[in-house]
Structure 1
Amino acid sequence: MTDTVKRYFDAFNAGDTAGMLDCLSDDVAHHVNQGGVRRGKAAFEEFCAHMSRCYREELTDMVLFEAEGGTRAAAEFTVNGTYLQSDEGLPEARGQEYRLPAGSFFSLKDGRITRIVTYYNLEDWMAQVS
C-alpha cells in the first residue's frame, strides 16, 4: 500500500492534482492541520486548487512507513515552500520561503487512500513568513 502513498506524494510534487485524486477513494476523509474534515474527492480537489493559488510546495526527505496488513501508512517529510498569495486570516504573502517538518497519516482500502491526516507546526510557519 505504500506504493499508493508514494504515487500520491509523487503527484503532489509534480503539481498533478488529477494524479493525487486517482489515489483517493471517492469518500476520502481529509483532516487538515488545525482545521476541519473535508469529505469526498470534490472537496479535496477544491482544497488543492486553493493551496496551488496560495502556496508552491515540494516535499523532500520523505520516509514512508506501512503498518502490517497494509491498511495504514505514515510519512515524515520536509515541506519546502513559497507563500505566493495571501491566505485568509494569515500573514500577507510576499513570496516568503519556508521550510517545515511535517507528517501525514493514511488509511487505505482496496488500493485507495480513504483517510489523510496531515500535521505541521503552524506557529513555526507563521514565524517564518511574518
Structure 2
Amino acid sequence: MSRETIQAYYDAFNRGDVEGMIATLHDDFAHHVNEGAMRLGKDAFAEFCRHMSETYKELLTDMVVFANEDGTRGAAEFTVNGTYLKTDPGLPEAKGQTYVLPAGGFFTLKDGKITRVTTYYNLQDWIRQVSQ
C-alpha cells in the first residue's frame, strides 16, 4: 500500500492536483522542506503548494518508489524538470529559467496515509542553474 500511496502523491503532483496530493495525507501530517521550516498539517501544506505552483512549474520524471515491507516507510528518487516562473523572496530573480535536478522524498506512513514527507534536492545546484 505504501508504494501506491507515494506514487499517487507524485502522480497528483505531476497533474498539478493539490487536492489529490492532500488526499494521500494523514490528518497528522508534517512536511519537512529542504533547507526550510517544517510545516504541520494539511492547510499549511496546501498553502505551500499554492505558492509553489505560482513560482515554479515542475514535472517529475525518472521516478523510482521504494517501500519497506510493513508499509510504514518509503522513499522516491526522481528528476525535477522545472521552470522558474516568479521570483521567490531571497532567491535569484525569476526570468523563466529552466532547471533539471536530481531529488528525492522520504516518507512515513500510517493507516495507508502519509504522515511525513521530507524533500531533498541540492539548493546550490538549483541556484547555479537559474543564475546562468
Deviations 1:54-101 (A, max 9, x none): 000000000010012110000000000000000000000000000000
Gaps of 5+ in 1: none
Question: Which residue of structure 1 lines up, in the alignment, with residue 55 of structure 2?
Answer: 54
CA deviation after TM superposition for structure 1 residue 36, in Å: 1.1
4+ long deviations beyond 2 Å: none
Question: Which residue of structure 2 lines up, in the alignment, with residue 93 of structure 1?
Answer: 94
- Give me the CA root mean square deviation: 0.5
Equivalent residue pairs, number: 130
CA deviation after TM superposition for structure 1 residue 15, in Å: 0.2
TM norm structure 1? 0.99
Matched-pair identity in %: 65
Q: Within 5 Å, which residues of 2 pair with 1:7-46?
A: 7-46=8-47
TM norm structure 2? 0.97
2:68 partner amino acid: A
Question: Which residue of structure 1 lines up, in the alignment, with residue 73 of structure 2?
Answer: 72
Gaps of 5+ in 2: none
Aligned counterparts of 2:115 and 2:29: Cα–Cα separation in 1: 4
